[in-house]
Amino acid sequence: MWTIKSKCSMMLRTTGGMLAAGLLAGFCLTIGNVSAALAGKRKFYLTTGSPGVAGNQVLTACASGYHTASLWEILDPSNLEYDTKRGVTKDDAGSGPPAGSDGDGWIRTGNFSNTGPTPGQANCGNWTSASPSDFGTIVRLQDTWNSGTLYPINPWVPDTKICSSPEGVWCVSDK
């Protein structure tokens, strides 16, 4: 069995001329880098299970080898691989994540400890509270593509929930 790198190496040795070799080398390096990048995509998922977890259980909800994702780790889902074996799926999701309210999940904000109602700041007091008077941030992927509403974190829709609300958790692989 041959790999892209071995095939490119063989073609470079048998292709005559400096120009052809240079063009072929550039092509082979590009293909090699693309295949390496595809093999190393980080995985992410939204935890399954009903009814979900309260805000004080967010940091322990992910499987071994995963951790609670910060929005900034999963902001661009096209650079990640959705783990359909672990995560919530929907009928028309294919290999991708769920969209809409069934895809609500707690998300780390990268902010200071906060229990207020502002999405992107609220984090159930750094995920220590399950109080119905405290708030945490959740996100979901948009399911209405023609709504005309754009969020600064597109394609994600931010919101807050009270920390006693059972929700899924967005998880991302450690490596």
Sequence spans of domains, the chain: 4-39, 43-173
Considering 29-33, 92-96, 170-174, the range whose residues carry the highest mean pLDDT is 170-174
Mean pLDDT of 146-156: 85
Residue 39 or 57, more confident: 57
Tokens of 150: 């754009």
pLDDT band at 129 (very low <50, low <70, confident <90, very high): very high
Q: Which residue has the higher pLDDT, 4 or 36?
A: 4
Give per-residue pLDDT as tens, 113-122: 999 999 999 9
pTM of the model: 0.77
pLDDT band at 135 (very low <50, low <70, confident <90, very high): very high
- 139-146 contacts, C-beta under 8 A, 24 or more apart: 139/71, 139/104, 139/105, 139/107, 139/170, 140/98, 140/99, 140/100, 140/101, 140/103, 140/104, 140/105, 141/77, 141/97, 141/98, 141/99, 141/100, 141/103, 142/99, 142/100, 143/99, 143/100, 143/101, 143/103
Helix ranges restricted to H, the chain = 4-14, 18-39, 71-74, 124-127
Confidence of residue 39 (pLDDT cuts 50, 70, 90): low
pLDDT band at 38 (very low <50, low <70, confident <90, very high): low
Question: How confident is the model over 64-92, as pLDDT tens digits?
Answer: 999 999 999 999 999 999 999 999 999 99
Q: pLDDT above 90 covers what percent of the chain?
A: 67
Residue 109 has pLDDT above 90, yes or no: yes
